[in-house]
Amino acid sequence: MGGKAYEEKIWDHASGSLLISESGGMCTDMHGKPLDFSQGRTLKSNDGVVAAGRDMHAKVLEAVKQAVAEAQTGKL
């Protein structure tokens, strides 16, 4: 994933990820990959963080992907 301007810190997301999961939601990166807290101080193998209810997570991921694509092409 090299070249990212910012890597999420694990201490900012570990407890929130657990709470979301325990309440029935999902917490992944913007590609739907599980957050990998085993990489040291940062989530360097993940891009961003998306948390949502299990029934809405896929829709939220699609909205995030669309927003990122529009931002990269200057359509936002």
Residues 6+ positions from 22 with CB-CB distance below 8 Å: none
Q: What 3-state DSSP class applies to 6?
A: coil
Give residue 76's pLDDT: 59
Give residue 19's pLDDT: 97
As a whole number of angstroms, the distance between CA 67 and CA 59 comes to 12
- Provide the pLDDT confidence category of residue 6 given band limits of 50, 70 and 90: confident
The predicted-structure confidence for 42-61, as pLDDT tens digits, reads as follows 999 999 999 999 999 999 99
Map 21-64 to HEC letters. Answer: HHCCEEEECCCCCECCCCCCCECCCCCCCEEEECCCHHHHHHHH
Give residue 3's pLDDT: 57
CATH number of 10-73: 3.40.190.80
Q: Where are the domains of the chain?
A: 10-73
Mean pLDDT for 31-40 is 96
Does residue 1 carry a pLDDT above 50?
no
Average pLDDT, the chain: 92
